[in-house]
Each structure stands twice: as C-alpha cells, then as structure tokens.
A and B are shown apart, each in its own frame.
Chain A
Amino acid sequence: MVSGRICPESGSPAIECAGGCGSERCAYLRMPDRPIVENMKEKRGGGGYSKAKTPRDLKTARAFDWMGAARMRMLGVMPETEPDAAARYLFDAAYALFVGRALQGIIKSNSKGMSKHLAVLLKKEWSEASDLELEMVMAKLKERIPDAGEVDAYANRFKAAYWLKSASSILKRKAGEK
C-alpha cells in the first residue's frame, strides 16, 4: 500500500538525502501515501506553500529565515498536491534546509572563503569547478585532527562546505529535471 522505505544509501530522513541520494526516484518512492492521494479527487482547501523566492545575494540570505522557508514548503504538500509537485516542494524544502545549515556553519566559523562559495550558489552560478574546490577543502580539513578547543570552528567550517555541496546537488537535480 505504501512505499515508505529506508534509503539504502543514507538511512536518513527524506529531506536530508533528497539531494545526495544516488537513486533517481528515491523521493518518489518514499512518498508515504501516494496510492491514497492518487485516489482523492476532491479539493478541500489549499496548502500553505510559500511562493516567496529564496534570496539571491549574501546580504539578504543572512537575514532570511531558511528553516521557515523549509517549513512552509513542507506544509505546502497537501493531499490534493500532485505527487510530482510534492516532490518538487520536497527538493525546495531540502534546498532551504541545506543552505540554512551551510549559513549556520559560515556564521559560526566566520569563514570568508565559504561565504564566497555561498554567494556563487545563491546566484545559481554553481559549476563543477566549485564542487571540486569544496571537495578539496573538505579533504584538506580531514587531513588533520583538531584540538578540543578549536573543534567547534573546525566542525562548522566543514559543515559549511558539506551543506553547500549538498545544496548544489539539489540545484543540479532540479536543472536536470527542466
């Protein structure tokens, strides 16, 4: 009846592996009640989906409520929402969640290098080179083990890189769907 299942790649909730999962239709497969929804024709009120655009520049992004954006996108998935549209909402929610986490990492680690990467991501000008650069940053960070005193800054720098890369994978996926 229901296609809910554990993602074999990550074991994570759908919103966290939407962009990184290797399986093409993973998010569709884990839509909890798709067979029920497909049989429901009658509309009973709208959802709370926010059409507000996500920021395209760093300054606005810092003041933006990314978690709130993720919430509104998730709450927008109502019974009458078509499964394909619901999947898009999930990816939008995941994008907001990932950028929000990256921003937390940037703010807490005060990393200027990562800020530049975020600016590129927000402008949707992300490229393979940016991915490679981030991979190099993460590999470099993994080369050494931090002290207990600096582990917070270290982990937050890694967090920024990791979630920027995850957010970029969502952008790529969305671009591929167009």
Chain B
Amino acid sequence: MVTFYDNYKNFPKTDCGYCGCSSCVTALRKFCLGEFDLAECVYFKAGKYRKENFSPSAVVNNWWSLKPGITYVLPCAVDPKRTALEVYLSYPENLKYGYFDMITADKIIYLYFPGLGFCPSLGIANLVQGGRDVYGYANGQVLCRLSLDKEDALWQLSRLTRWLWGAVN
C-alpha cells in the first residue's frame, strides 16, 4: 500500500504556491482526495515530474475517531499512582484531512524542543517531560500518561495541543 507520506517523499516540496495551494502537503492531500489535479503544479506542467508516479488512492486519514470528549483512566496502566487521560479533539466529519498535520508540525518544531518529537509518516507527536508521556495523533486523539492528577493531565493535554495549534487543519 502506498501511504500519503510515500507520495510526499517524492514530491517537489518547493511550497511555491503556483498551484494556489499553500504548500505541497496541501496540494498532495487534496490530490489524494480527488480535489486537485497535479497538472496544475508547475513541475508537472514542465514535465519534470510525472503524474503516474503518484498514487491518488494513498490514504490521507485512516484514523477512526469517536465524538469529542475527555476520558480519564484512574489509575494509569503504567503506574497505578498516576493518572492517564485520553481525548478526541474533533468530530469525525471534520477529519477529512486529519486534525493535526504532522508533516507541518514536524517542519515547524522539528528537534528543536527537548522531549518533543514527531513521526510524520505515522502521524504521531510525542512529548516526554518530567516523567510524563503525551502522545498526539493526526486524527486529533491525544493520550496523556503518567500525569500526577487530573489537572496535571489536562495541563499536559493543553500544552501539546497548543504547541501543535499552527498545524491544525
């Protein structure tokens, strides 16, 4: 199966705006959803890239999602003295492109902040700080583990989502 990230790796990645999309990620994502013709891209017009090399059926957002809400897990499975929290940040109908764009998030914050890492191909962000473990997923799911209490978990959730705010689709 060709993934969206496989497609992206072979794309021009110039972010020139010629096609009217704000970045190559957006153009490619729209292409995979049948909303954009690659012939609009200057690289394809010039013949440097070929449409046949890109899979229009690449999966953009294959994450399932429940309706938004917070679920606390007491105690946390990893450490019974601590709290875990799981949250879905958006409704499934808003997730056509996914909730967080982890390719953009990776570009903005990549390896800059200790403890914060990204895997754009899997669509995951991970923040490890003060013994806590927070995962953010492209579908808008956030999982906080090893939090001190409910309020602490909420604070971790808020911090990660706000850092990734610029990468919300």
B128 contacts the other chain (Cβ, under 8 Å)? no
How many residues of chain B have a CB within 8 Å of chain A? 51
Binds B, one of A54-62, A145-153, A170-178: A145-153
B63 contacts the other chain (Cβ, under 8 Å)? no
> A33 to B162, Cβ gap below 8 A?
yes
Binds A, one of B45-53, B71-79, B118-126: B45-53
Of B45, B70, B109, the residue contacting A74 (CB under 8 A) is: B109
0 or 1 for each of A38-61: is its CB under 8 Å from B? (1 = yes) = 001010100010000000000000
B2 contacts the other chain (Cβ, under 8 Å)? no
CB A144 to nearest CB in B, in angstroms, measures 10
> B16 to A156, Cβ gap below 8 A?
yes
> A162 to B30, Cβ gap below 8 A?
no
CB A14 to nearest CB in B, in angstroms, measures 5
Residues of B within 8 A of A10 (CB): 21-22, 26
Further 5 A-B residue pairs, CB within 8 A, beyond A12-B22, A37-B162, A40-B155 = A44-B155, A48-B113, A75-B113, A145-B46, A147-B46
A-B contact pairs, 15 of them (CB 8 A): A4-B140, A5-B90, A6-B96, A10-B21, A12-B26, A16-B104, A33-B89, A33-B158, A33-B161, A71-B109, A79-B158, A86-B165, A97-B108, A145-B46, A152-B14
A contact residues vs B (CB 8 Å cutoff): 1-2, 4-7, 10-18, 20, 30-33, 36-37, 40, 42, 44, 48, 67-68, 70-71, 74-75, 77-79, 81, 86, 90, 93-94, 97, 101, 105, 142, 145-148, 150-152, 154-156, 158-159, 162-163, 166
